[in-house]
Amino acid sequence: MAKNLVILESPAKVKTVKKILGANYEVAASGGHVRDLPKSSLGIDVEHDFEPKYITIRGKGDVLANLRKEVKKADKIYLATDPDREGEAISWHLMFALKLKEMPDKKVYRITFNEITKSAVKESLKNAREINMDLVDAQQARRVLDRMVGYRISPLLWAKVKRGLSAGRVQSVALRIICDREAEIGAFIPEEYWTLEASLKVEGEKKPVTAKYHGEGGKKTEIVNQEQMDNLIRSLEGADWQVTEVKKGERMKKAPLPFTTSTLQQEASKVLNFSTQKTMRLAQQLYEGVDLKGEGTTGLITYLRTDSTRVSGEAEQMAREYIVKQFGEEYAAQAVAVKKKEQKIQDAHEAIRPTDIQRIPAAVKEQLPRDLFRLYQLIWKRFTASRMAPARYETSSTRIEAGGHEFTMTASSRVFDGFMSVYTQEEDAEENNAMSQELSRESRLSLQKLEPRQHFTQPPAHYTEASLVKALEELGIGRPSTYAPTITTILARRYVAKENKNLYVTELGEVVNQIMMEAFPSIVDVNFTANMEALLDGVEMGTVKWKTIIANFYPDLEEAVQRAEKELEKVDIADEVSDEVCEVCGRQMVIKYGPHGRFLACPGFPECRNTKPYFEKIGVLCPKCGKDIVLKKTQKGRRYYGCIGYPDCDFMVWQKPSGQKCPQCGSIMLEKGNKLVCSNEECGHVMAANKE
């Protein structure tokens, strides 16, 4: 009987696939890549058409020896690595590492399945094909570009800043995006604005209604200071309040699309507080399979690296049947929403969905660890909701006039929950407000009170992992498989610190970003990187030759590296002599640079191991106790300004204090670009920085 060998990527899948295929199939795993570029050198022959020099990865010898034994026994070999670029490249490398091209008596096929289920695995055997070299070349192009950027620029950072730093094609742009946002926040000057609400008594009703000021003459009017507000309130004194228009309507809230890699990472971060890395690790487990009573190892979700929202016809049908049975015909979507196709989407892939919608979260709750269950439940609910009807709302919009001014009231009431019976998001919470009491043009109104409120505009929000993933995707930087490793790298290198979900650039991150922007502007240019991604997608589609991209990119990179080696000044952020004396041995302490930033250390190491925090004085005295304000860092590396007298004095601010006091309230003024802004948010006074 002919012997068949299936080679998977992950050992975790072997048992499940073996169970599906039965005795005629031997199933083995490569454990990921078996060949790669060498770590000790660039590994790309720039003199000879940029040919990569692949070697067997250290530690893979035994894996390959076992696979060769299995290959000898088999007549047909099915390369069943993951269904993406990376998986295609692993299959191609296996062809070389196992010398399959030199075995004419063996039949070699490439198969892919999007989920580890009986039907998907069996179907993949019917659709066996040759290796797709466009996919392989797209992976090679990315690998070679990333290697060139990393291996040519990182040593420069070691020489100019400190060892252990790294640059990367995607990570350096991600760092720049965070730095740009920090600069935006730092330079942000709040602007004052006011809102006005009127509490109105409706004749014959117990409860008053609240209307919001809109404007006059049919146009929206912005109120920007108290004087304007006072004038408005005066003009409303003794005015008649009259309903001038009531509009009724209906609004639909569409069901969300099923998850892609990016939207899963964003939602898991917002709802479950998972890092992108944790989300991908758990999703990998759900895809590869978990042990379920009576079923054995079972894959619970489809492949986790995808930017497609497409769903197979079979899954579509199963979802419809389930929804009609559980909720009723009216809850099933009539026409399912599909994301507008973009060229970059690998449409062979599906969205992330449960492999079987009948496997409801409650049925597996007891058999899954808590976090694995929570992620499965999120995916199940999102997919189920995506196949359901929209929620419907009755809406009411009322215009009220008083003294030539216009106030408005809007309300909505949900009349059909649709997909929201299964899945609601944060922004859905306010949708549940019932409509306020009915008003008509005949309603008689009288003013109870006016409530003016002062507000200040808020700076842009700090990036979180979720919003950074969203930004990278919208800007066309990186691909689903790169978001999590990119964020993990910039956190591990301590270029960025994470506190309460927010990402903050560290001092080290600012230094590295500054060097990259000065010496390698195109590498950290958002448009350049997005255009490069588009070219790489062109390789995948067979319209661009991968070596053409490399040949065009390398000379400019090499020229920039050589110029930077000559012109870039060394950043001395270590071993400056300070004016602090070591209290242990009397030597003059030096400023060193560690993983968390600068600190003071005794130069007498290892005889004297004394160290202490380094605080940079800024020449401004604390408004609370009169001691020095110094630049400090939180435990994770975020910078702030605080009193050196801590813990006796708790003064701290995030922006640099100026030493000047606010002429209006006496609080300390903070530096924001070329302006000074009062640290007292209720005051909000702004003046030019050079004003004495």
**Distance, CA of 674 to chain centre:** 32
Instruction: Count CA within 13 A, CB hemisphere, residue 126.
Output: 6
* Beta pairing class for 55-56 and 675-678: unpaired
Q: Which of 618, 621, 619 is nearest to 631 (CA)?
A: 618
Q: Which two tokens stand for residue 295?
A: 């079923």
CA distance 601 to 585: 12
Q: Which of 150, 132, 39 is nearest to 90 (CA)?
A: 132
Q: Which helix (H) or strand (E) holds 623?
A: none
> CA 426 → CA 67, 208, 264, 423, 429, distances in Å?
49, 29, 15, 10, 6
Angle at alpha carbon of residue 382, lines to 381 and 383, rounded to 5°: 95
CA distance 358 to 370: 20
* Beta pairing class for 55-56 and 51-52: unpaired
CA distance 669 to 131: 65
Q: Is 151 a catalytic residue?
A: no
CA distance 90 to 36: 10
**Catalytic residue selected from 303, 331, 483, 593:** 303
The 3-state secondary structure of 86-147 reads: HHHHHHHHHHHHCCHHHCCCCEEEECCCCCCCHHHHHHHHHCCECCCHHHHHHHHHHHHHHH
Helices 483-492 and 276-288 cross at an angle (nearest 10°) of: 140
Residues in the chain: 692
Q: Which helix (H) or strand (E) holds 440?
A: none
For tokens 């040919």, name the residue.
Answer: 51
**Distance, CA of 544 to chain centre:** 29
Q: Which two tokens stand for residue 501?
A: 């979900």
The letter for the amino acid at 576 is E
The letter for the amino acid at 78 is Y
Instruction: Return the beta strands (E) in 254-376 as ranges.
Output: 290-292, 296-298
> CA 589 → CA 249, 570, 582, 614, distances in Å?
73, 22, 6, 10
Instruction: Count CA within 13 A, CB hemisphere, residue 671.
Output: 13
Instruction: Count CA within 13 A, CB hemisphere, residue 478.
Output: 26
Q: Which residues are catalytic?
A: 303
